[in-house]
């Protein structure tokens, strides 16, 4: 697809033009909406990105975990943590192999909720399923698990 080539070259206007042409030919091409959302995101037009990702998730019939993941990133930039968490959960539900989405669920819930046990549960799930997948995320998950455990231990609770 020519639009993707222009996107990778950061020629966003020409890329957007080609994606819009593709949509005129096939309105059900949800990936074109995803790429237009990526362009909007790169140009810091987060609200437009959000709408394009939402539309892509609405019309897409195949795996849409990438679209949900990108939607969550747009929500993060728009400071909408509840929606961000929901979109990450949708990404993970759509594709149970999406380890980044699971890690982001844990990370975002830890930041958003006072009850760190919620994040602890997601970090544990990440470690059980994806410990070997990404060494950087795994090391961060281990650190967060240790810190959350310590926090509750100092409060007189034992987690496990």
Mean pLDDT (whole number) for 119-147: 97
List the domains of the chain with CATH numbers.
1-95 (1.25.40.10), 100-160 (no CATH)
Q: 0.85 exceeded by the pTM?
A: yes
pLDDT at 1: 73
Mean pLDDT (whole number) for 108-120: 96
Query: Measured on CA atoms in the order 134, 139, 140, 144, is the torsion positive or negative?
Result: positive
Are the CB atoms for 108 and 85 separated by under 8 Å?
yes
Going by C-beta distance under 8 Å and a sequence separation of 6 or more, which residues neighbour residue 83? Answer: 72, 75
Each residue of 49-60: pLDDT tens digit? 999 999 999 999
Q: How many CB atoms lie within 10 A of CB 127?
A: 15
Are the CB atoms for 120 and 159 separated by under 8 Å?
yes
Q: How confident is the model at residue 25 (pLDDT cuts 50, 70, 90)?
A: very high
Q: In the 8-state DSSP scheme, what is residue 62?
A: S
Mean pLDDT (whole number) for 87-101: 97
Each residue of 40-81: pLDDT tens digit? 999 999 999 999 999 999 999 889 999 999 999 999 999 999
pLDDT at 158: 85
């Amino acid at each position: 697809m020519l639009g993707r080539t222009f996107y990778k070259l950061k020629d966003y206007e020409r890329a957007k033009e080609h994606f819009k042409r593709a949509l005129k030919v096939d309105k059900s091409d949800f990936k074109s909406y995803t790429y237009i959302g990526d362009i909007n995101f790169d140009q810091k037009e987060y609200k437009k990105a959000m709408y394009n990702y939402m539309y892509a998730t609405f019309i897409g019939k195949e795996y849409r975990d990438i679209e949900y993941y990108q939607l969550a990133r747009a929500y993060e930039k728009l400071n909408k943590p509840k929606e961000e968490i929901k979109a990450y959960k949708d990404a993970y539900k759509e594709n149970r192999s999406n380890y980044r989405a699971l890690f982001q669920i844990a990370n975002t819930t830890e930041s958003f909720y006072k009850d760190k046990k919620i994040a602890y549960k997601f970090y544990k799930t990440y470690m059980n399923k994806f410990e070997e997948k990404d060494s950087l995320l795994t090391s961060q998950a281990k650190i967060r698990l240790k810190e959350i455990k310590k926090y509750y231990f100092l409060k007189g609770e034992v987690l496990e």
